[in-house]
């Protein structure tokens, strides 16, 4: 991407900044804070919609327990169907008509890309976007946008390092989803492995989200004779891969991305026995892992799901994700106190100091600074033993850039 026309942006910014300078942000009253969001509730990406729904349920809970500093949260979450032009329209509606104080957890890489500059031009906090792309942490160029989850490139780099350490002579096969999400992992792997990537990777395959099955890809990868398999796919295709690998008797070291590392939505449908030995990384608790059966935090989450999101699926890890990210926002708003200007919200969001969030793995925290817009950067590797994902090794904190 070329450098933006900074001058134009600056002129536009001064034109519009008026409203945001003095006092509280628009959408903030003594009793209410308006927060905007977009999610794909319809269309082919609708499975992600549960994140927006669980966050909505979280705000209902917040409001039932008295709100934040006496203010209730008004959560306006709109459907963009994962279509960037629609996102632009919905975001403009939120900012200009609904006059939300800020947006939170807008979902998707292409969708957020469509409003990235708009939000910064308007100087509206574009907080904790729900995508793992790397570009959400550029405080200099985009001071109003912040990511949340560990980014895909970091995870890719963790995989690359793992391969270098444990399989220095291994022949590697890679499969990834043919979009920004899949490609970011590969970029991370390449960054960590350097020229070893070209030497060790013997076969790469991609799939489209619309592919009915990935059998053909798995056969081709198995045929390459690789003994390490890096699998970057969503739960549906990860489960298919596990099944197919078992069926054709291909048994490489299987490294699976965190997106699909879920007992209920990947391993169980594929068959727990077949998923044994899968290596992955994680940063939050899988509520279906027996390890967290009696964990007080997870129990609180379960009780909350029962009461506030009864239609939601407790086996879906994304509902734990929504809960954790919602708590990040609660923390920021609590810290902001009664100074709810957009500047202060941004300032508080960029000065989180080792904040523990419910449902994060033990020892992990959110941490930001004015120069570090990546709240979560720690992960831990896991190995599935047939019933639970056993964590091993230290917390890996791959600081990005």
Partner 1 sequence: MALSDAKSVAMRPNPAHTAVLFGIKLPMWNLYLTVIGIAAALVLPFVVEGFTVFQLTQALVYAIAVLGLNLLTGFNGQFSLGHSAFYALGAYTAAIMVERYEVAFYWTILPAGIICFIGGFLFGLPALRLEGLFLALATFALAVATPQLLRYEHFEGFTGGVQGIDLFKPDSPIEFLGGDQWLYFVVLVCGALLVVGAWNLTRGRTGRAIMAIRDNPLAARTMGINTSLYKSVTFGVSGFYTGIAGALGAAVAEFVAPDSFTFFLSVWLLVGMVIGGLGSIPAAIVGGLFILYVPNISEALIGQVFGDDPSAKALIGVAFGCFLIFAVYVMPNGLAGFVRWFVARYSRPGI
Partner 2 sequence: MDQFLQQTLSGLANGAIYASLALAVVMIYQAIDHFNFAQGEMAMFSTFIAWQLIAWGAPYWVAFVVCLAISFIGGMAIERIIFAPIHDAPALSHVVVFIALTLIFNAMAGFIWEFTIKEFPSPFPAELPFETKLIGPHEVGIVGITLIMLGMIYVFFRFTPIGLAMRAAAASPESARLVGISVKKMLGLGWGLAAAVGAVAGMMIAPVVFLEPNMMLGILLYGFAGAVVGGLTSPGGAVVGGFLMGVLEALAGTYVIGSELKLTFALVVIVAVLLFRPAGLFGRVVVQRV
Which stretches of the chain bind partner 2, using CB under 8 A?
Answer: 42, 44, 46-47, 49-50, 178, 205-213, 215-217, 219-220, 223, 235-236, 239-240, 247-249, 264-266, 268-269, 311-313, 315-316
- CB of 179 or CB of 339, closer to partner 1: 179
- CB of 142 or CB of 176, closer to partner 2: 176
Size of the site for partner 1 (CB under 8 A): 54
**Shortest gap between Cβ of 150 and partner 1 (angstroms)?**
20
Which partner from the list partner 1, partner 2, none does 316 bind, CB cut-off 5 to 8 Å by kind? partner 2
Q: By rule CB under 8 A, what string of x and - marks binding of each residue 137-176 to partner 1?
A: ----------------------------------------
Q: Measure Cα distances from 211 to 96, 171, 217, 245 in Å.
A: 39, 26, 11, 18
In whole angstroms, give the CA distance from residue 371 to residue 334: 22
Token pair 């594929």 in the structure block, residue: 270
Token pair 């013997």 in the structure block, residue: 202
Reference 156, options 191, 184, 185, 195; nearest CA is 185
Local structure of 81: helix, strand or coil:
coil
Q: Which residues of 118-148 are buried (b: 16+ CB within 10 A; e: fewer)?
A: bbbbbbbbbbbbbbbbbbbbbbeebbbbbbb
Q: Does 42 bind partner 1 (CB under 8 A)?
A: yes
Q: Of the candidates 24, 38, 54, 257, which one interacts with partner 1 according to CB under 8 A?
A: 54
In whole angstroms, give the CA distance from residue 223 to residue 238: 18
In whole angstroms, give the CA distance from residue 145 to residue 135: 9
Exposure on the CB side of residue 198, measured as CA atoms within 13 A: 2
Contact (CB, 8 A) for 139 and 371: yes
- CB of 41 or CB of 162, closer to partner 1: 41
Site for partner 1 in 176-195 (CB under 8 A): 178-180, 183
Q: Of the candidates 79, 297, 331, 377, which one interacts with partner 1 according to CB under 8 A?
A: 79
Interior CA angle at 177 toward 172 and 183, to 5°? 75
- CB of 107 or CB of 242, closer to partner 1: 107
- CB of 161 or CB of 315, closer to partner 2: 315
- The site for partner 1 (CB under 8 A) is made up of 1-2, 4-5, 8, 39, 41-44, 46, 49, 52-54, 56-57, 59-60, 75, 77-79, 81-86, 88-89, 92-93, 96-97, 109-111, 113-114, 116-118, 178-180, 183, 208, 210, 308-312
């Amino acid at each position: 991407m070329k450098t933006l026309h900074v001058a134009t942006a600056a002129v536009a910014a001064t034109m519009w900044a008026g409203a945001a300078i003095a006092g509280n942000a628009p959408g903030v009253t003594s009793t209410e804070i308006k927060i905007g969001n977009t999610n794909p509730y319809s269309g082919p990406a609708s499975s992600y919609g549960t994140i927006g729904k669980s966050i909505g349920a979280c705000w209902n809970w917040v409001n039932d327990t008295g709100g934040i500093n006496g203010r209730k949260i008004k959560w306006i979450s709109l459907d963009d169907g994962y279509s960037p032009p629609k996102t632009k329209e919905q975001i403009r509606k939120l900012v200009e008509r609904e006059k939300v104080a800020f947006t939170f957890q807008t979902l998707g890489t292409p969708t957020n890309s469509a409003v990235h500059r708009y939000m910064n031009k308007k100087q509206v906090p574009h907080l904790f976007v729900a995508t793992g792309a790397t570009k959400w942490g550029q405080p200099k160029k985009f001071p109003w946008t912040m990511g949340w989850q560990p980014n895909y490139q970091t995870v890719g780099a963790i995989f690359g390092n793992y391969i270098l350490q444990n399989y220095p002579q291994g022949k590697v096969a890679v499969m990834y989803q043919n979009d920004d999400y899949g490609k970011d992992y590969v970029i991370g792997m390449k960054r960590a492995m350097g020229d070893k990537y070209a030497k060790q990777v013997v076969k790469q395959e991609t799939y489209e989200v619309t592919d009915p099955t990935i059998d053909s890809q798995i056969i081709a990868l198995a045929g390459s004779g690789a003994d390490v398999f890096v699998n970057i796919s969503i739960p549906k295709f990860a489960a298919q891969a596990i099944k197919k690998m078992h069926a054709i008797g291909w048994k490489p070291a299987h490294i699976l991305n965190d997106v699909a590392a879920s007992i209920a939505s990947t391993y169980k449908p594929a068959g727990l026995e077949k998923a044994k030995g899968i290596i992955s990384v994680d940063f939050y608790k899988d509520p279906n892992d027996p390890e967290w059966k009696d964990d007080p935090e997870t129990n609180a989450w379960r009780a909350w799901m029962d009461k506030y999101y009864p239609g939601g699926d407790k086996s879906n890890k994304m509902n734990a994700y929504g809960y954790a990210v919602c708590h990040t926002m609660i923390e920021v708003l609590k810290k902001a106190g009664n100074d709810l200007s957009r500047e202060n919200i941004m300032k508080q969001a960029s000065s989180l100091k080792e904040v523990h969030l419910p449902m994060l793995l033990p020892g992990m925290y959110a941490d930001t600074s004015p120069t570090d817009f990546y709240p979560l950067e720690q992960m831990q590797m896991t190995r599935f033993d047939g019933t639970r994902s056993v964590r091993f090794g230290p917390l890996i904190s791959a600081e990005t850039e």
